Every structure is written in C-alpha cells, then in structure tokens.
Structure 1
C-alpha cells in the first residue's frame, strides 16, 4: 500500500518478535510508527537493551505506538514503581523516551501484561480493552 513501510525484526533465535509499520503522514501530517512487540518473561538484559535502542531510534522522528505483551507483572502502573532493578530500568527508559502507558485495566488475570505505549497521547482519543474469550485463551 502507498504510504506504508513494514519491517519485521526477530532477535535472539526467535525469542523476541517485533513487527514495525510506519504510516506516512497520519498524525497531523507526521509519520506514525506502530510496533507490535512480544517480550518473553525470561528475556535477558542484552535483548532488553536491543529493545531500548529500538525505542530510542523509533521515537526520534515520529509519533510512536508500541503495543504488545511485555510480561512485566511486577510493575505498579498506578504508582509507576517496580521492585527489581531490571524493571525499574525499563520504567526509566520509558520516561527518558517520553513514552506513556495508556492502558489501565488488567489484561491477564490481575496483571497488566499487554501494554499500549505512546510518545504522543494527543492522537489517542479512546482505548477499549476487549475481554473476549479468545483473548483469554491466548494468555492461558
């Protein structure tokens, strides 16, 4: 399609998957980059660093939307805190790149594992979480 660029990234023997789509000229005539990301719970620091590099690069020229399963149940999104150094670093890198977590309701049991991160809240008017049976099956 005209106005779309797509890039698929697979890192570390397929343990991390990311799909990136750049939509040209959509947010007040600026580009929007949408990245779908799956972070396994056992992801190591090296792969986390690759994610943060991707985040830094993506958020420079465009509006960015990161969506996916980040497997970080220890984050308290209400107070923006975490118990481990690794997860506190994740929160710091989000802040450093002006990324905001938009979802507020649990997406898996009592946890908010699936995140919607944006660097421009102004083009996010309404977010609805679907709790369909199929969605729950994917996370069991």
Structure 2
C-alpha cells in the first residue's frame, strides 16, 4: 500500500522566518481500514510532528476507547492510543461529539496552540458535529526560561544502555533511601546529558 491509500490531508502554514511552521492535518480512518494503511497513517503523523507545531483533526472510528480512563477494548484502538500518548499529543475537545462518544478529535502537540473551540451542530443530515477553533500562533512565540526535554528526539535505547552499565548493587550498597535516590538521580541525569 502506498502513501495515497490513507484518507488524510496535510497543510503546512508557513510562518515568518525563525518562528517555525504549523502543520494542520485532517485524517479519516474507516472502521475497516487495513493494518498497513493504518501504519502508514501513523508514520505520516510522526513525520508531521517534526514541524514546529501540529494541529490534527481526526475521525479514527474507535468507539471502544474510553477517553476518561484512556483505555480501549480492541488492539487497533490501543495502538491508536499508543500513537497519541507516545507522541505527547493533547486532546483539545473535552466532551462527546457523536452519539455520546468522542470519535472526532482535535489534537495538538503544544499546550495553548488551539483555542476558542466550539461545537457548531451538524451540517445537513450528518451525524458529526462541526468544530470551530482557532490556531493561536502567539502561544508558540512565548519563550520560557525553563529547560524542557524533547522526548520525541530521545534515543531511549542508548539511555537504557547507559543506565544498564551502572553496577547498581555496588553503587547503592550500604546506602539509605535518600542517599540511594541521590545516587540514582545523579546517574539518570548524567545519562540524560
């Protein structure tokens, strides 16, 4: 299956030099979609996350997902939740939109990027709700002096390997809980660098 086999549209909003671009994606996943097409769609989402900011509108047809508990009954639905959680995407819409279920999602990779979300009723005889929202570009320009890590770029294999090399039995031998924590924390921060 090729990239065109997914039902998605991706738009790049070019910003002024130095402020970064925003990717807006609209994706539809038919309930009978094949696994290969689904993985292609997840790869497209992963590629879009390399932009400065992402807003993603999706209808993934996973009615078995419980958004309150972040759980799912089916394997494909759990894979969808792993994609959302693994890429640190935030759900913007809080309540049910279709037959009491949250099927249509507006996701973002930045807190405060999407605002003024309003459900506007159905269009024609559709059973979907229209969603109106604003992409708040100013939210991205705020600069913080707090350093944060970009977990999407992390090499967790290397991180695991570095921590696995530490002889923990010897490093923590004869130490109390507080002192052991400080030793562990020191190794963790060193591996993080």
Q: TM-score, normalising length from structure 1?
A: 0.80
Structure 1 residues without counterparts, runs of 5 or longer? 1-8
The alpha carbon displacement at 1:18 in A equals: 1.0
Per-residue displacement from partner, 1:38-96 (whole Å, max 9, x unpaired)? 11111121111001100111002321111132111111111111111221111111111
Over the aligned positions, Cα root-mean-square deviation in angstroms equals 2.0
The structure number with the bigger radius of gyration is 2
Match of 2:126 in 1: 138
Q: How many angstroms apart in 2 are the aligned matches of 1:119 and 1:139?
A: 28
Structure 2 residues without counterparts, runs of 5 or longer? 129-193
Structure 1 stretches (4+) deviating beyond 3 angstroms?
Answer: none
Match of 1:128 in 2: 118
Match of 1:71 in 2: 61
> Helix, strand or coil for the counterpart of 2:94?
coil
Residue of 31, 40, 64 corresponding to 1:41:
31
Aligned pairs for 1:51-90 within 5 A: 51-90=41-80
For these two proteins, the number of residue pairs brought into alignment is: 125
Q: TM-score, normalising length from structure 2?
A: 0.59
Q: How many angstroms apart in 2 are the aligned matches of 1:37 and 1:87?
A: 15
